[in-house]
Chain A
Amino acid sequence: MNKVLMQGNKIIGEAAIRAGCRFYAGYPITPQNEIPEYMSERLRQEEGGVFIQSESEVAAIHMVIGASAAGARAMTSSSSPGISLKQEGISSMAACELPAVIINMMRGGPGLGNISAAQGDYFQATKGGGHGDYRIIVLGPDSAQELADLTMEAFDLADRYRTPVMILADGMMGQMMEPVIFKTPKPRDYPESFIMKGAGAGKSKIIRGLILDPLDMEEHNWTLDRKYQVIAQNETRHELYKADDAELILVAYGTGARIAKGAIKRLRDLGLRAGLFRPITLWPFPTNELRDLAKKIENFLVFEMSTGKMVEDVRLAIQGRARIGFHGRPGGVVPTPVELANVVMRKYDRKEGIIDHY
Protein backbone atom coordinates (compact mmCIF):
# COMPACT_ATOMS: atom_id res chain seq x y z
CA MET A 1 0.00 0.00 0.00
CA ASN A 2 1.54 3.21 -1.18
CA LYS A 3 0.91 6.33 0.88
CA VAL A 4 0.94 9.58 -1.09
CA LEU A 5 0.52 13.23 -0.15
CA MET A 6 -2.22 14.78 -2.28
CA GLN A 7 -4.61 17.69 -2.34
CA GLY A 8 -8.25 16.82 -1.54
CA ASN A 9 -9.63 17.89 -4.91
CA LYS A 10 -7.05 15.80 -6.76
CA ILE A 11 -7.69 12.84 -4.47
CA ILE A 12 -11.33 12.89 -5.59
CA GLY A 13 -10.20 12.99 -9.23
CA GLU A 14 -7.77 10.09 -8.81
CA ALA A 15 -10.25 7.99 -6.82
CA ALA A 16 -12.89 8.58 -9.51
CA ILE A 17 -10.53 7.50 -12.30
CA ARG A 18 -9.51 4.39 -10.37
CA ALA A 19 -13.18 3.58 -9.77
CA GLY A 20 -13.65 3.59 -13.54
CA CYS A 21 -15.06 7.06 -14.09
CA ARG A 22 -14.52 7.80 -17.78
CA PHE A 23 -16.75 10.81 -18.25
CA TYR A 24 -16.45 14.17 -16.54
CA ALA A 25 -18.20 17.43 -17.37
CA GLY A 26 -17.94 20.57 -15.30
CA TYR A 27 -17.64 24.32 -15.20
CA PRO A 28 -14.92 26.05 -13.15
CA ILE A 29 -15.58 27.50 -9.70
CA THR A 30 -13.32 27.98 -6.68
CA PRO A 31 -12.59 26.10 -4.42
CA GLN A 32 -12.89 22.92 -6.51
CA ASN A 33 -11.06 23.92 -9.72
CA GLU A 34 -8.39 21.29 -9.21
CA ILE A 35 -11.00 18.58 -9.84
CA PRO A 36 -11.69 19.54 -13.48
CA GLU A 37 -7.99 20.36 -13.91
CA TYR A 38 -7.00 16.90 -12.71
CA MET A 39 -9.74 15.14 -14.67
CA SER A 40 -8.75 16.93 -17.88
CA GLU A 41 -5.21 15.60 -17.54
CA ARG A 42 -6.06 12.08 -16.38
CA LEU A 43 -9.00 11.36 -18.67
CA ARG A 44 -6.78 12.26 -21.61
CA GLN A 45 -4.58 9.31 -20.64
CA GLU A 46 -7.40 6.80 -20.20
CA GLU A 47 -8.85 4.81 -23.08
CA GLY A 48 -12.37 6.07 -23.75
CA GLY A 49 -11.92 8.95 -21.34
CA VAL A 50 -13.97 12.07 -22.05
CA PHE A 51 -13.48 15.45 -20.39
CA ILE A 52 -15.71 18.38 -21.23
CA GLN A 53 -15.47 21.88 -19.86
CA SER A 54 -19.09 22.72 -20.47
CA GLU A 55 -20.61 26.11 -21.20
CA SER A 56 -22.44 26.08 -17.87
CA GLU A 57 -23.20 23.99 -14.79
CA VAL A 58 -26.65 23.19 -16.22
CA ALA A 59 -25.03 21.84 -19.37
CA ALA A 60 -22.53 19.80 -17.35
CA ILE A 61 -25.13 17.91 -15.33
CA HIS A 62 -27.15 17.17 -18.47
CA MET A 63 -24.05 15.86 -20.22
CA VAL A 64 -23.60 13.57 -17.22
CA ILE A 65 -27.20 12.39 -17.69
CA GLY A 66 -26.39 11.46 -21.28
CA ALA A 67 -23.15 9.71 -20.38
CA SER A 68 -24.82 7.79 -17.57
CA ALA A 69 -27.69 6.66 -19.82
CA ALA A 70 -25.09 5.46 -22.29
CA GLY A 71 -23.48 3.35 -19.58
CA ALA A 72 -20.47 5.41 -18.48
CA ARG A 73 -19.40 5.95 -14.93
CA ALA A 74 -19.90 9.72 -14.93
CA MET A 75 -19.12 12.56 -12.57
CA THR A 76 -19.52 16.31 -12.27
CA SER A 77 -18.29 18.65 -9.57
CA SER A 78 -18.87 22.20 -8.45
CA SER A 79 -19.18 24.41 -5.40
CA SER A 80 -22.35 25.75 -3.77
CA PRO A 81 -23.72 28.26 -6.34
CA GLY A 82 -22.84 25.87 -9.16
CA ILE A 83 -24.58 22.99 -7.38
CA SER A 84 -27.74 25.11 -7.19
CA LEU A 85 -27.66 25.32 -10.98
CA LYS A 86 -27.36 21.54 -11.28
CA GLN A 87 -30.50 20.77 -9.27
CA GLU A 88 -32.80 20.42 -12.29
CA GLY A 89 -30.55 17.72 -13.70
CA ILE A 90 -30.21 15.94 -10.36
CA SER A 91 -34.00 15.76 -10.06
CA SER A 92 -34.16 14.36 -13.61
CA MET A 93 -31.56 11.71 -12.80
CA ALA A 94 -33.48 10.67 -9.72
CA ALA A 95 -36.64 10.36 -11.83
CA CYS A 96 -34.85 8.42 -14.58
CA GLU A 97 -32.96 6.27 -12.04
CA LEU A 98 -29.58 7.08 -13.51
CA PRO A 99 -26.35 6.65 -11.54
CA ALA A 100 -23.80 9.46 -11.27
CA VAL A 101 -21.49 11.06 -8.74
CA ILE A 102 -21.81 14.77 -7.93
CA ILE A 103 -19.17 16.56 -5.86
CA ASN A 104 -20.02 19.68 -3.85
CA MET A 105 -17.05 21.43 -2.26
CA MET A 106 -19.16 23.83 -0.21
CA ARG A 107 -18.33 27.50 0.22
CA GLY A 108 -19.88 30.39 2.13
CA GLY A 109 -23.38 31.41 1.01
CA PRO A 110 -26.20 32.07 0.19
CA GLY A 111 -25.78 33.73 -3.17
CA LEU A 112 -22.29 33.81 -4.56
CA GLY A 113 -21.08 34.14 -0.95
CA ASN A 114 -17.36 33.57 -0.69
CA ILE A 115 -14.81 30.86 -1.39
CA SER A 116 -14.06 29.80 2.18
CA ALA A 117 -15.17 26.49 3.70
CA ALA A 118 -18.76 26.28 4.99
CA GLN A 119 -21.54 23.75 5.58
CA GLY A 120 -24.63 25.73 4.64
CA ASP A 121 -25.73 23.42 1.81
CA TYR A 122 -26.86 20.60 4.10
CA PHE A 123 -30.58 21.08 3.44
CA GLN A 124 -30.07 21.42 -0.31
CA ALA A 125 -28.04 18.20 -0.38
CA THR A 126 -30.10 16.03 1.98
CA LYS A 127 -33.65 17.32 1.63
CA GLY A 128 -34.01 17.35 -2.12
CA GLY A 129 -32.44 20.43 -3.63
CA GLY A 130 -34.33 19.88 -6.83
CA HIS A 131 -38.09 19.43 -7.13
CA GLY A 132 -40.22 16.37 -6.66
CA ASP A 133 -40.45 13.24 -4.55
CA TYR A 134 -36.89 12.00 -4.45
CA ARG A 135 -33.81 11.42 -2.34
CA ILE A 136 -30.13 11.13 -3.15
CA ILE A 137 -27.40 9.49 -1.12
CA VAL A 138 -25.14 12.13 0.49
CA LEU A 139 -21.72 11.25 1.89
CA GLY A 140 -19.75 13.56 4.21
CA PRO A 141 -16.03 12.74 4.26
CA ASP A 142 -13.82 14.23 6.99
CA SER A 143 -10.31 13.31 5.80
CA ALA A 144 -8.21 12.79 2.71
CA GLN A 145 -8.57 9.04 3.20
CA GLU A 146 -12.35 9.28 3.26
CA LEU A 147 -12.36 11.52 0.19
CA ALA A 148 -10.70 8.64 -1.65
CA ASP A 149 -12.70 5.80 -0.08
CA LEU A 150 -16.10 7.49 -0.27
CA THR A 151 -15.58 8.69 -3.85
CA MET A 152 -14.94 5.08 -4.90
CA GLU A 153 -17.87 3.89 -2.85
CA ALA A 154 -20.11 6.61 -4.27
CA PHE A 155 -19.80 5.05 -7.74
CA ASP A 156 -20.72 1.60 -6.36
CA LEU A 157 -23.72 2.98 -4.47
CA ALA A 158 -24.85 4.97 -7.51
CA ASP A 159 -24.81 1.81 -9.64
CA ARG A 160 -26.34 -0.48 -7.01
CA TYR A 161 -29.34 1.79 -6.46
CA ARG A 162 -29.33 3.58 -9.81
CA THR A 163 -29.30 6.98 -8.14
CA PRO A 164 -27.18 10.12 -8.06
CA VAL A 165 -24.78 10.15 -5.10
CA MET A 166 -23.36 13.39 -3.72
CA ILE A 167 -20.08 13.88 -1.92
CA LEU A 168 -20.65 16.85 0.40
CA ALA A 169 -17.31 18.33 1.49
CA ASP A 170 -16.01 21.88 1.65
CA GLY A 171 -13.34 24.22 0.35
CA MET A 172 -10.89 23.35 3.08
CA MET A 173 -11.16 19.62 2.41
CA GLY A 174 -10.63 20.39 -1.26
CA GLN A 175 -7.55 22.55 -0.78
CA MET A 176 -5.84 20.64 2.01
CA MET A 177 -3.15 18.06 1.35
CA GLU A 178 -3.06 14.97 3.54
CA PRO A 179 -1.57 11.49 3.16
CA VAL A 180 -3.83 8.99 1.44
CA ILE A 181 -3.72 5.34 0.39
CA PHE A 182 -5.81 4.44 -2.67
CA LYS A 183 -7.52 1.11 -2.10
CA THR A 184 -8.30 -1.28 -4.91
CA PRO A 185 -11.81 -0.52 -6.18
CA LYS A 186 -14.36 -3.27 -6.63
CA PRO A 187 -15.05 -4.29 -10.24
CA ARG A 188 -18.15 -2.60 -11.66
CA ASP A 189 -21.38 -4.55 -11.43
CA TYR A 190 -23.97 -2.80 -13.62
CA PRO A 191 -26.43 -4.76 -15.76
CA GLU A 192 -26.13 -4.28 -19.51
CA SER A 193 -29.91 -4.12 -19.72
CA PHE A 194 -29.92 -0.63 -18.17
CA ILE A 195 -27.58 0.80 -20.78
CA MET A 196 -28.87 2.70 -23.82
CA LYS A 197 -26.72 1.50 -26.67
CA GLY A 198 -29.15 0.65 -29.38
CA ALA A 199 -31.97 -1.90 -29.09
CA GLY A 200 -30.80 -3.82 -32.15
CA ALA A 201 -33.57 -6.18 -33.17
CA GLY A 202 -35.13 -6.08 -29.68
CA LYS A 203 -37.69 -3.84 -28.06
CA SER A 204 -36.98 -0.10 -27.72
CA LYS A 205 -35.56 1.01 -24.39
CA ILE A 206 -36.96 4.18 -22.90
CA ILE A 207 -35.57 6.21 -20.02
CA ARG A 208 -37.81 9.13 -19.15
CA GLY A 209 -38.79 11.46 -16.35
CA LEU A 210 -41.99 12.70 -17.97
CA ILE A 211 -44.85 10.50 -16.76
CA LEU A 212 -48.10 12.24 -17.61
CA ASP A 213 -50.64 9.85 -16.09
CA PRO A 214 -50.89 10.63 -12.35
CA LEU A 215 -51.53 6.98 -11.49
CA ASP A 216 -48.39 5.92 -13.36
CA MET A 217 -46.44 8.74 -11.73
CA GLU A 218 -47.73 7.69 -8.33
CA GLU A 219 -46.63 4.13 -8.97
CA HIS A 220 -43.20 5.40 -9.99
CA ASN A 221 -43.02 7.56 -6.83
CA TRP A 222 -43.75 4.53 -4.64
CA THR A 223 -41.21 2.45 -6.55
CA LEU A 224 -38.60 5.12 -5.88
CA ASP A 225 -39.69 5.41 -2.27
CA ARG A 226 -39.29 1.67 -1.69
CA LYS A 227 -35.78 1.97 -3.06
CA TYR A 228 -35.02 4.85 -0.70
CA GLN A 229 -36.25 2.77 2.22
CA VAL A 230 -33.91 -0.05 1.26
CA ILE A 231 -31.04 2.45 1.05
CA ALA A 232 -31.92 3.85 4.49
CA GLN A 233 -31.94 0.33 5.91
CA ASN A 234 -28.70 -0.88 4.36
CA GLU A 235 -26.41 2.06 3.74
CA THR A 236 -26.44 4.20 6.87
CA ARG A 237 -22.92 4.88 8.16
CA HIS A 238 -21.56 6.75 11.15
CA GLU A 239 -18.49 6.94 13.37
CA LEU A 240 -18.34 7.01 17.15
CA TYR A 241 -15.28 8.61 18.77
CA LYS A 242 -14.60 8.34 22.51
CA ALA A 243 -18.32 7.78 23.04
CA ASP A 244 -18.16 4.74 25.37
CA ASP A 245 -17.77 6.63 28.63
CA ALA A 246 -19.05 10.00 27.41
CA GLU A 247 -21.33 12.24 29.46
CA LEU A 248 -21.73 14.61 26.52
CA ILE A 249 -21.78 13.88 22.79
CA LEU A 250 -20.84 16.34 20.08
CA VAL A 251 -22.56 15.73 16.74
CA ALA A 252 -20.68 17.03 13.70
CA TYR A 253 -19.75 15.98 10.16
CA GLY A 254 -16.96 16.70 7.67
CA THR A 255 -14.58 19.49 8.61
CA GLY A 256 -16.82 20.24 11.60
CA ALA A 257 -16.16 16.72 12.92
CA ARG A 258 -12.38 17.21 12.65
CA ILE A 259 -12.65 20.36 14.75
CA ALA A 260 -14.92 18.54 17.19
CA LYS A 261 -12.35 15.75 17.62
CA GLY A 262 -9.71 18.35 18.47
CA ALA A 263 -12.11 19.99 20.92
CA ILE A 264 -12.88 16.62 22.55
CA LYS A 265 -9.20 15.99 23.25
CA ARG A 266 -8.99 19.36 25.03
CA LEU A 267 -12.24 18.79 26.93
CA ARG A 268 -11.00 15.43 28.18
CA ASP A 269 -7.78 17.09 29.35
CA LEU A 270 -10.04 19.43 31.32
CA GLY A 271 -11.84 16.46 32.84
CA LEU A 272 -15.04 16.53 30.78
CA ARG A 273 -15.84 13.17 29.21
CA ALA A 274 -16.92 14.30 25.76
CA GLY A 275 -17.35 12.09 22.69
CA LEU A 276 -18.34 12.44 19.05
CA PHE A 277 -21.16 11.08 16.89
CA ARG A 278 -20.20 11.66 13.27
CA PRO A 279 -22.73 10.92 10.52
CA ILE A 280 -20.82 9.69 7.45
CA THR A 281 -24.01 9.28 5.40
CA LEU A 282 -25.94 12.56 5.72
CA TRP A 283 -28.75 10.93 3.79
CA PRO A 284 -29.66 8.37 4.91
CA PHE A 285 -29.11 10.05 8.28
CA PRO A 286 -28.10 7.62 11.07
CA THR A 287 -31.35 8.28 12.94
CA ASN A 288 -31.70 4.98 14.79
CA GLU A 289 -28.07 4.90 15.85
CA LEU A 290 -28.32 8.40 17.31
CA ARG A 291 -31.62 7.57 19.03
CA ASP A 292 -30.01 4.51 20.63
CA LEU A 293 -27.21 6.68 21.95
CA ALA A 294 -29.77 9.04 23.52
CA LYS A 295 -30.98 6.13 25.66
CA LYS A 296 -27.84 6.34 27.77
CA ILE A 297 -26.55 9.88 27.14
CA GLU A 298 -28.53 12.96 28.14
CA ASN A 299 -26.53 15.77 26.56
CA PHE A 300 -25.82 16.45 22.91
CA LEU A 301 -24.24 19.46 21.28
CA VAL A 302 -24.44 19.87 17.51
CA PHE A 303 -21.65 21.80 15.84
CA GLU A 304 -21.92 22.97 12.24
CA MET A 305 -20.23 25.56 10.05
CA SER A 306 -23.71 26.95 9.36
CA THR A 307 -26.56 28.56 11.31
CA GLY A 308 -27.97 25.11 12.06
CA LYS A 309 -29.18 22.60 9.51
CA MET A 310 -28.20 19.08 10.59
CA VAL A 311 -29.36 20.00 14.10
CA GLU A 312 -32.93 19.51 12.81
CA ASP A 313 -32.16 15.90 11.86
CA VAL A 314 -30.57 15.40 15.27
CA ARG A 315 -33.75 16.69 16.95
CA LEU A 316 -35.90 14.40 14.77
CA ALA A 317 -33.74 11.46 15.74
CA ILE A 318 -33.58 12.14 19.46
CA GLN A 319 -37.24 13.25 19.74
CA GLY A 320 -36.92 14.99 23.08
CA ARG A 321 -35.14 12.09 24.76
CA ALA A 322 -32.08 14.23 25.54
CA ARG A 323 -30.99 17.86 25.74
CA ILE A 324 -29.66 19.27 22.46
CA GLY A 325 -27.50 22.36 22.17
CA PHE A 326 -26.12 23.99 19.07
CA HIS A 327 -23.04 25.99 18.09
CA GLY A 328 -22.62 27.34 14.57
CA ARG A 329 -20.07 29.40 12.63
CA PRO A 330 -21.53 30.16 9.18
CA GLY A 331 -20.19 32.31 6.38
CA GLY A 332 -16.89 30.55 5.74
CA VAL A 333 -15.49 30.87 9.25
CA VAL A 334 -13.57 27.79 10.35
CA PRO A 335 -13.32 27.96 14.14
CA THR A 336 -10.48 26.42 16.14
CA PRO A 337 -10.87 23.33 18.32
CA VAL A 338 -10.04 25.59 21.30
CA GLU A 339 -13.01 27.84 20.53
CA LEU A 340 -15.36 24.88 20.30
CA ALA A 341 -14.04 23.45 23.57
CA ASN A 342 -14.66 26.81 25.26
CA VAL A 343 -18.22 26.90 23.89
CA VAL A 344 -18.91 23.41 25.25
CA MET A 345 -17.57 24.38 28.70
CA ARG A 346 -19.82 27.43 28.66
CA LYS A 347 -22.97 25.62 27.56
CA TYR A 348 -22.58 22.50 29.65
CA ASP A 349 -23.35 22.50 33.34
CA ARG A 350 -22.56 19.30 35.23
CA LYS A 351 -25.83 19.51 37.20
CA GLU A 352 -28.15 21.15 34.70
CA GLY A 353 -26.79 19.58 31.55
CA ILE A 354 -26.75 21.45 28.24
CA ILE A 355 -28.11 24.95 28.58
CA ASP A 356 -29.08 26.31 25.22
CA HIS A 357 -31.47 28.97 24.12
CA TYR A 358 -31.37 28.15 20.44
Chain B
Amino acid sequence: MMVKTIFSGFGGQGVLMMGYALAHGAMSAGYHVTFLPAYGAEVRGGTANCTVAVSDDEIASPIASKPDNIVVLNAPSLLTFQNRLAPGGALFLNSSIIAVEPSRHDVRIFKIPSSELAEKLGNPRTANTVMMGAFLKITGLVPPDIFLSSMETVMGSKKKSVIEINHKAFAAGYEFLKIAE
Protein backbone atom coordinates (compact mmCIF):
# COMPACT_ATOMS: atom_id res chain seq x y z
CA MET B 1 0.00 0.00 0.00
CA MET B 2 1.21 3.48 -0.90
CA VAL B 3 -0.95 6.56 -0.35
CA LYS B 4 0.18 10.04 -1.33
CA THR B 5 -1.71 13.17 -0.27
CA ILE B 6 -1.18 16.82 -1.16
CA PHE B 7 -2.36 19.43 1.36
CA SER B 8 -2.71 22.99 0.07
CA GLY B 9 -4.11 26.34 1.13
CA PHE B 10 -3.21 29.94 2.04
CA GLY B 11 -0.09 30.40 4.09
CA GLY B 12 -1.37 30.57 7.66
CA GLN B 13 -4.26 28.12 7.27
CA GLY B 14 -2.20 25.40 8.90
CA VAL B 15 -1.58 23.37 5.77
CA LEU B 16 1.92 22.29 6.76
CA MET B 17 0.67 21.43 10.24
CA MET B 18 -1.96 19.10 8.74
CA GLY B 19 0.69 17.23 6.76
CA TYR B 20 3.15 17.18 9.62
CA ALA B 21 0.58 15.80 12.08
CA LEU B 22 -0.56 13.15 9.57
CA ALA B 23 3.04 12.12 8.87
CA HIS B 24 3.76 11.89 12.60
CA GLY B 25 0.57 9.87 13.14
CA ALA B 26 1.44 7.49 10.31
CA MET B 27 4.93 7.03 11.76
CA SER B 28 3.40 6.26 15.18
CA ALA B 29 1.06 3.76 13.51
CA GLY B 30 4.15 1.95 12.17
CA TYR B 31 4.19 3.07 8.56
CA HIS B 32 7.03 4.34 6.40
CA VAL B 33 6.40 8.02 5.82
CA THR B 34 7.80 11.09 4.08
CA PHE B 35 6.74 14.73 4.41
CA LEU B 36 7.86 17.19 1.74
CA PRO B 37 6.96 20.88 2.03
CA ALA B 38 7.00 23.17 -0.98
CA TYR B 39 9.97 25.44 -0.39
CA GLY B 40 11.62 28.44 -1.91
CA ALA B 41 10.40 31.62 -3.49
CA GLU B 42 6.83 32.12 -2.33
CA VAL B 43 4.83 35.33 -1.92
CA ARG B 44 3.33 36.52 1.33
CA GLY B 45 -0.35 35.60 1.34
CA GLY B 46 0.28 33.03 -1.39
CA THR B 47 -0.35 29.32 -1.23
CA ALA B 48 1.53 26.78 0.83
CA ASN B 49 1.49 23.07 0.18
CA CYS B 50 3.04 19.82 1.30
CA THR B 51 3.03 16.20 0.23
CA VAL B 52 2.74 13.26 2.62
CA ALA B 53 3.51 9.70 1.48
CA VAL B 54 2.39 6.80 3.70
CA SER B 55 3.40 3.25 2.84
CA ASP B 56 3.98 -0.18 4.37
CA ASP B 57 7.18 -0.39 2.29
CA GLU B 58 10.18 1.90 1.70
CA ILE B 59 9.18 5.12 -0.09
CA ALA B 60 11.16 5.83 -3.25
CA SER B 61 10.04 9.36 -4.03
CA PRO B 62 8.38 11.81 -1.64
CA ILE B 63 6.93 13.68 -4.62
CA ALA B 64 3.37 12.95 -5.77
CA SER B 65 2.92 13.44 -9.51
CA LYS B 66 -0.44 11.63 -9.26
CA PRO B 67 -1.62 11.90 -5.64
CA ASP B 68 -4.32 9.57 -4.25
CA ASN B 69 -5.84 12.40 -2.21
CA ILE B 70 -5.78 16.16 -2.29
CA VAL B 71 -6.94 18.41 0.51
CA VAL B 72 -7.53 22.02 -0.53
CA LEU B 73 -8.41 24.84 1.83
CA ASN B 74 -8.67 27.66 -0.74
CA ALA B 75 -9.73 28.14 -4.35
CA PRO B 76 -6.27 28.71 -5.90
CA SER B 77 -5.17 25.37 -4.44
CA LEU B 78 -8.12 23.60 -6.02
CA LEU B 79 -7.22 25.04 -9.42
CA THR B 80 -3.53 24.17 -8.99
CA PHE B 81 -3.92 20.57 -7.89
CA GLN B 82 -7.26 19.11 -9.04
CA ASN B 83 -5.90 17.93 -12.39
CA ARG B 84 -3.08 16.03 -10.72
CA LEU B 85 -5.40 13.86 -8.64
CA ALA B 86 -5.39 10.18 -9.63
CA PRO B 87 -8.66 8.95 -11.20
CA GLY B 88 -10.83 7.55 -8.42
CA GLY B 89 -8.90 9.61 -5.87
CA ALA B 90 -10.44 11.66 -3.09
CA LEU B 91 -10.74 15.45 -3.20
CA PHE B 92 -11.45 17.24 0.09
CA LEU B 93 -12.34 20.89 -0.20
CA ASN B 94 -13.14 23.66 2.20
CA SER B 95 -16.60 24.60 0.90
CA SER B 96 -16.81 27.60 3.26
CA ILE B 97 -14.49 29.64 1.07
CA ILE B 98 -14.20 27.69 -2.19
CA ALA B 99 -17.04 28.89 -4.42
CA VAL B 100 -15.82 27.28 -7.64
CA GLU B 101 -16.92 23.74 -8.54
CA PRO B 102 -14.22 21.12 -9.12
CA SER B 103 -13.84 20.25 -12.82
CA ARG B 104 -13.13 16.57 -12.21
CA HIS B 105 -15.92 14.01 -12.49
CA ASP B 106 -13.83 10.87 -12.12
CA VAL B 107 -12.91 11.46 -8.47
CA ARG B 108 -14.72 11.32 -5.14
CA ILE B 109 -15.45 14.83 -3.92
CA PHE B 110 -16.00 15.70 -0.26
CA LYS B 111 -17.13 19.22 0.49
CA ILE B 112 -16.59 20.17 4.10
CA PRO B 113 -17.47 23.67 5.35
CA SER B 114 -14.44 23.50 7.61
CA SER B 115 -14.08 27.25 8.20
CA GLU B 116 -17.75 27.55 9.25
CA LEU B 117 -17.57 24.48 11.49
CA ALA B 118 -14.43 25.86 13.12
CA GLU B 119 -16.05 29.24 13.63
CA LYS B 120 -19.05 27.60 15.30
CA LEU B 121 -16.67 25.98 17.77
CA GLY B 122 -15.33 29.44 18.57
CA ASN B 123 -11.89 29.18 16.92
CA PRO B 124 -11.70 29.73 13.15
CA ARG B 125 -8.03 28.75 13.21
CA THR B 126 -9.01 25.11 13.74
CA ALA B 127 -10.45 24.76 10.22
CA ASN B 128 -7.45 22.59 9.31
CA THR B 129 -8.16 20.19 12.17
CA VAL B 130 -11.83 19.98 11.17
CA MET B 131 -10.63 18.99 7.72
CA MET B 132 -8.35 16.32 9.16
CA GLY B 133 -11.34 14.79 10.94
CA ALA B 134 -13.18 14.44 7.65
CA PHE B 135 -10.04 13.29 5.84
CA LEU B 136 -9.29 10.48 8.27
CA LYS B 137 -12.96 9.45 8.44
CA ILE B 138 -12.87 8.73 4.70
CA THR B 139 -9.29 7.53 4.17
CA GLY B 140 -8.80 5.69 7.47
CA LEU B 141 -5.06 6.24 6.98
CA VAL B 142 -4.38 6.63 10.70
CA PRO B 143 -6.68 5.74 13.64
CA PRO B 144 -8.16 8.95 15.16
CA ASP B 145 -6.67 8.38 18.62
CA ILE B 146 -3.16 7.99 17.21
CA PHE B 147 -3.61 11.08 15.03
CA LEU B 148 -4.85 13.17 17.96
CA SER B 149 -1.93 12.22 20.15
CA SER B 150 0.45 12.99 17.26
CA MET B 151 -1.24 16.35 16.80
CA GLU B 152 -0.59 17.15 20.45
CA THR B 153 3.05 16.16 20.03
CA VAL B 154 3.68 18.28 16.93
CA MET B 155 1.83 21.28 18.40
CA GLY B 156 4.37 21.24 21.21
CA SER B 157 3.69 22.78 24.59
CA LYS B 158 0.44 24.49 23.69
CA LYS B 159 -2.15 25.38 26.30
CA LYS B 160 -4.65 22.75 27.38
CA SER B 161 -7.51 24.82 25.99
CA VAL B 162 -5.88 24.79 22.53
CA ILE B 163 -5.58 21.00 22.65
CA GLU B 164 -9.23 20.72 23.72
CA ILE B 165 -10.59 22.92 20.96
CA ASN B 166 -8.60 20.94 18.40
CA HIS B 167 -10.07 17.67 19.71
CA LYS B 168 -13.53 19.21 19.28
CA ALA B 169 -12.66 20.46 15.80
CA PHE B 170 -11.44 17.02 14.76
CA ALA B 171 -14.65 15.43 16.06
CA ALA B 172 -16.74 18.02 14.20
CA GLY B 173 -15.10 17.11 10.88
CA TYR B 174 -15.31 13.40 11.63
CA GLU B 175 -19.00 13.61 12.53
CA PHE B 176 -19.90 15.93 9.67
CA LEU B 177 -19.31 13.33 7.00
CA LYS B 178 -21.00 10.65 9.08
CA ILE B 179 -24.17 12.72 9.02
CA ALA B 180 -23.80 13.58 5.36
CA GLU B 181 -23.51 9.94 4.34
Contact = CB atoms under 8 A, between A and B. Distances in A.
A30 interface: yes
B37 A175 contact: yes
Interface string B23-51: 11001000011111101110000000000
B61 A178 contact: no
A329 B125 CA distance: 41
B3 interface: no
Contacts of A337: 60-61
> Which one of B24, B36, B37 has the greatest number of beta carbons of chain A within 10 Å?
B36
A175 B33 contact: no
A334 B34 CA distance: 16
B139 interface: no
What interface size band does chain B fall in? 20 to 34
B164 interface: no
A241 to B, nearest CB: 10
Given A5-B23, A5-B24, A177-B23, A334 B35 contact: no
B58 interface: yes
Contacts, number: 60
B35 A5 contact: yes
B39 A176 contact: no
A263 B60 contact: yes
Contacts of B20: 5, 177
A172 interface: yes
Interface residues of A, number: 24
A334 B61 contact: yes
A342 interface: no
Given A5-B23, A5-B33, A175 B61 contact: no
A115 B36 contact: no
A178 B33 contact: yes
B11 interface: no
B62 interface: yes
B39 A175 contact: yes
A115 B39 contact: yes
Contacts of B36: 172, 175-177
Across the A-B interface, the 10 shortest Cβ-Cβ residue pairs: A262-B60, A177-B35, A115-B40, A337-B60, A179-B27, A176-B36, A175-B39, A5-B24, A258-B60, A176-B62
Interface of A: 3, 5, 30-31, 115-116, 171-172, 175-179, 258-263, 265, 334, 336-338
11 contacts: A3-B27, A115-B39, A172-B63, A177-B34, A177-B35, A178-B34, A178-B35, A258-B61, A259-B60, A263-B60, A334-B63
